[in-house]
Chains A and B, each alone.
Chain A
Amino acid sequence: MSGAHGGGLIGAVVDRLIPGDGHWPPGGSTVAVRFVEQAIADGGDRGAAVAAVLQGVSGLAARRGGLFAWLPVPVRDAVLGDVEAQPGWSSGFRMLYELACEGYYTDPLVEAVTRERTGFDAARPLTGMPLAPFDERLLDRVRRLPPSYRPVVR
């Protein structure tokens, strides 16, 4: 838990937005938490919207029995679902989710799992890799086709 939304709220929320499993770390243990905190600290429309959503989460959790982080997982998910469904909070909820994903998929630990689980190597866009030159013989069939454009006589 950290920042103005202490008591572990941000981490607990991000944990439910992007839950962990046997392979993937939970969102709350990644830099996703820092991304959300930073957005709130930066203020602006996005920071205000996300902060409002977290306040909403906190308020709905209280009505369901206590701090969000202490609620059973199904109840936490129900709280988030209720917040997402509120017209006044839905766009802020989407921003929160986007921030969580931005942080999560930037975390080196997550990048390593991504590579292991999907084959997508996040290092390649930074370093590149060799590929065989294009073999122009692949064009042979098409080259033999008749012209297929409309000549225009002026």
Chain B
Amino acid sequence: MTAEPDGPRAEVLVIGAGASGACVAWSLARAGVDVLCLEQGDWLTEEDLPKSHQDWAVRSRHEWNPNPALRRGPFDYPVDNRGANPVNTYVYSAVGGSAVGWGGAFWRFSPSDFATHRTDGFGRDWPFGYEELEPYYEINEAQMGMSGAAGDPTHPCTSVPPLPPVSMGAMGHRWIAGFEELGWYWWVQHLAIASRDYRGRPACSNRGFCTAGCPTGALAVPGTTYWPEALAAGARLETRARVRRVTVGADGRATGVEYYDAAGELRQATADLVVVAGNGLGTPRLLLMSASPEHPHGLANSSGAVGRGLMIHPQISVVAHFAERTDADHGPWGATATTRHFYETDPANDFRRGFIITAMRGFNPLDTALQTAPWGAGHHRALETHLNHEAVLWVCGDDAAEERNHVRLDHGNLDAWGLPGVITEYTMSENSRRMMETGLARATELARAAGADSVRSFGLESPHGWHLLGTARMGDDPRDSVVDARNRAHDVENLYIVDGSTMPAGGTVNPTNTVQAVALRAADHMIATRDQWSRSLLDRSGISRRWDGVPGTR
């Protein structure tokens, strides 16, 4: 079936309205570029958010489950996770993408994260450094409304966050006491959560359990930060639009996309520039689905790197038990404090690179019961032992891209439009295992210093997949990477990829701030080169030009 060329036209098509797609649409629209974004999901309403409902903990396990294989939402595509350590892949399909059910952790990468191979012989280097992203971090932190504090000696950033730190409560102070007891570096958690009223968003009211949705809007999500301004600036956003392929003309340039609209009609949207922002799963899926006789292994995939090198950040959670109550029923869940004390490579360790430990809060009654309480006579005794007496330390480490860890199409498992799902394959490296063993030991040490009388931990066998990175990596060498240092596909001169899939190395902290900063930087390049790709500008100038890049902008 061929799509009729009756669909919409724009200068730029953005595929995906999540954290990175929103940034690009916002930036381009404000520069006067005609932008259309196609999003497979829909706008979320307050009704959709679990925490708008008394049974929010139940909804969080089902229709709001971050794992699409368990959620089985109407806009999801199938995801089958395999390998020695099958990843619990967490992605949402909605305006805002996976940044709708998140905790708001909002760190910047450190300078060494961009040069891990050069400094530590680990992973891959970025084709640019931290200083390139710094101005875009500033823009993003203002736009998202980041809370935090200046002066962290474990990071070179000197700018003052737009908002002061969020409240910590007694549990936060208990964790801080632990950090101080050990003499470690630590810092107040940087969060995309409004600690004060900010640009129309109310201050956080400490409801907690942020990943179950924030009905007040204190937690920054693209739908309340970037999108209102992008739409006001003229961007268009079409929801429930399932893109099935990027189309390419005889000249090798992208011409647009074929997609199913909300009514299920196959349409062709055309554009001068196509931007893919589908995250570490959706982006390789779309590129691989866009295979053609000219691109038999998938679009932009002459390197074979599309889908390869999946990174997830090895993670382990240590649940500390305290004799005292832990106030688990309130306070921003991801906040209190984080240490980068173990961030860099330490020759004394048996692994390279390092990890953070983020001190968080406790679980709700349902999750506590399911984690700790047996059925039968001992049920309530166990619940009373654990509920409101626990808090979580989350260890997150650096992960090198390995070719065996990948995403591929699953033609045996189709979505509602008959398009293939994806299979992820992930096996944790020995370096990651050793790193997490040390992280577990250090987190246990911190728990004890904070007054915990015991700890339990979740294993490594089926890791969290909040951070899906590296599957369309950036690099200077077209033989070994998918996009260049400006996020432009090596193989298709008017195709950009702007999400976390382009990260050649994933750093050690939560990546959303960096994903968005990279997207904003890429958008600036699109704007700077508009006279080379925009048909309306070329028609107006009356001259024929071909893309020749912008010298000196690296």
Q: Is the CB of A147 within 8 A of B153?
A: yes
Determine which of B343, B375, B388 lies in contact with A17 in the assembled complex, contact meaning CB atoms within 8 Å.
B375
The answer to whether A131 and B206 touch (CB under 8 A), given A23-B380, A105-B366, A138-B176, is: yes
Nearest chain A residue, comparing its CB with the CB of B343: A149
Measured CB to CB, the nearest residue on chain A to B344 is A150
B contact patch SS: loop
Task: Tell me, yes or no, whether A121 is within 8 Å of chain B by CB.
Answer: yes
- B120 and chain A: residue at smallest CB distance: A150
Are A125 and B119 closer than 8 Å at their CB atoms?
A: no
**Contact residues in B for A105 (Cβ distance below 8 Å):** 57, 364-366, 369
8 A Cβ contacts from B401-457 to A:
none
Smallest beta-carbon distance A11→chain B, Å: 15
Task: Say whether, besides A121-B329, A124-B329, A142-B185, A19 and B112 are in contact (CB < 8 Å).
Answer: no
C-alpha gap A118/B185 in the complex (Å): 33
Given contacts A21-B380, A106-B57, A118-B387, whether A139 and B111 have CB atoms under 8 Å apart is no
Query: Contacts A128-B206, A139-B188 known; A148 to B54 CB distance under 8 Å?
Result: no
Closest to B147 in A: A134
Total A-B contacts with CB atoms under 8 angstroms apart: 180
* Contact stretch, chosen from A1-9, A49-57, A62-70, A95-103: A95-103
Contact of B375 among A97, A128, A133, A150 (CB under 8 A): A97
Interface core residue of B180, B195, B330 (most chain A CB under 10 Å)? B330
B379-A19 in contact (CB<8A): yes
Q: Determine if B387 and A114 form an interchain contact, defined as CB atoms under 8 angstroms apart.
A: yes
Report whether B119 and A150 are in contact in the complex, using a CB–CB cutoff of 8 Å: yes
CB-CB nearest in chain A for B128:
A154
- In the complex, the chain B residue whose C-beta lies closest to that of A23 is B380
- Asked if B369 and A125 sit within 8 Å, CB to CB, the answer is no
Asked if B370 and A149 sit within 8 Å, CB to CB, the answer is: no
Contact stretch, chosen from B160-168, B300-308, B483-491, B493-501: B160-168
For A, the interface residue count at a CB cutoff of 8 angstroms equals 53
B55 within 8 A of A: yes
In the bound complex, what is the Cα–Cα distance between A118 and B130 (angstroms)?
Answer: 47
**Looking at the complex, which one of A21, A126, A148 makes contact with B340 (CB distance below 8 Å)?**
A148
- A126 to chain B: which residues have CB within 8 Å? 51, 54, 56, 207
Complex alpha-carbon distance, A121 and B331, angstroms: 13
A40 CB–B CB distance under 8 Å: no
Task: Tell whether A122 is near chain B: CB-to-CB under 8 Å.
Answer: yes
Contact between B329 and A142, CB atoms less than 8 A apart: no
Inter-chain contact B330/A124, CB cutoff 8 Å: yes
Contact with B along A142-154 (1 / 0, CB 8 A): 1101111111101
B142 lies within 8 A of chain A by Cβ? no
Q: Known: A118-B384, A149-B112. Is A134-B54 also a contact (CB below 8 A)?
A: no
In the complex the two chains form, is A145's CB within 8 Å of B153's CB? yes
Give A131 to B193 CA distance when docked, in angstroms: 15
Does any Cβ of A come within 8 Å of B357's Cβ? no
A101-B366, A120-B328, A126-B207 known; A149 vs B165 contact (CB < 8 Å): no
Once the chains bind, are B164 and A133 in contact (CB under 8 Å)?
yes
A148 to B379, CA, bound (A): 47
Q: Which residues of B contact A61 (CB under 8 A)?
A: none
Contact A130–B165 (Cβ < 8 Å): no
A141 to B151, CA, bound (A): 11
List of B residues within 8 angstroms of A21 by Cβ: 380
Is B186's CB under 8 angstroms from A106's CB? Answer: no
* B82 at the A interface (CB under 8 A): no
Interface residue B129 (Cβ < 8 Å from any Cβ of A): yes
Closest residue of chain A to B56, judged by CB?
A: A125
Task: State in angstroms the CA–CA spacing of A128 and B167 once bound together.
Answer: 12
Contact across chains for A119 and B388 when beta carbons are under 8 A apart: yes
Which of B61, B114, B151, B389 has the most chain A CB within a 10 Å cutoff? B151
Is the CB of B530 closer than 8 A to any CB of chain A?
Answer: no
A134-B164 contact given A150-B110, A150-B344, CB 8 Å threshold: yes
User: Do residues B380 and A102 form an inter-chain contact, with CB atoms below 8 A?
Assistant: no
Residues of A contacting B176 in the complex (Cβ-Cβ under 8 angstroms): 138
Q: Is the CB of A149 within 8 A of B155?
A: yes
Contact A122 B344 (CB under 8 A): no
Interface residues in B24-83 by Cβ distance below 8 A to A read 51, 54-58, 61
Q: Is B149 part of the binding interface, using a Cβ–Cβ cutoff of 8 Å?
A: yes
For A106-128 the 0/1 string (1 means CB < 8 A from B) is 10100100100111111011111
Give 29 pairs: A residue, B residue, CB < 8 Å, sorted on A.
A16-B376, A17-B376, A24-B380, A77-B377, A97-B375, A100-B375, A101-B370, A102-B55, A105-B365, A105-B369, A114-B387, A118-B365, A118-B383, A119-B325, A119-B329, A122-B329, A124-B330, A125-B56, A125-B364, A127-B207, A128-B204, A129-B205, A131-B331, A132-B167, A148-B153, A148-B340, A149-B110, A150-B111, A150-B344
Given contacts A134-B167, A136-B164, 18 further A-B contacts (CB under 8 A): A17-B379, A21-B380, A23-B380, A105-B365, A105-B369, A118-B384, A118-B387, A118-B389, A119-B329, A120-B329, A124-B207, A129-B205, A130-B206, A131-B168, A133-B195, A139-B187, A148-B154, A148-B185
Give me the interface of B with A, judged by CB distance under 8 Å: 51, 54-58, 61, 110-112, 114-115, 118-119, 129-130, 149, 151-156, 164-169, 172-173, 176, 180, 185-188, 195, 204-209, 212, 216, 325, 328-331, 340-341, 343-344, 364-366, 369-370, 373, 375-377, 379-380, 383-384, 387-389
List the 5 closest A-B pairs by CB distance, nearest first. A128-B205, A131-B167, A134-B165, A124-B329, A152-B111
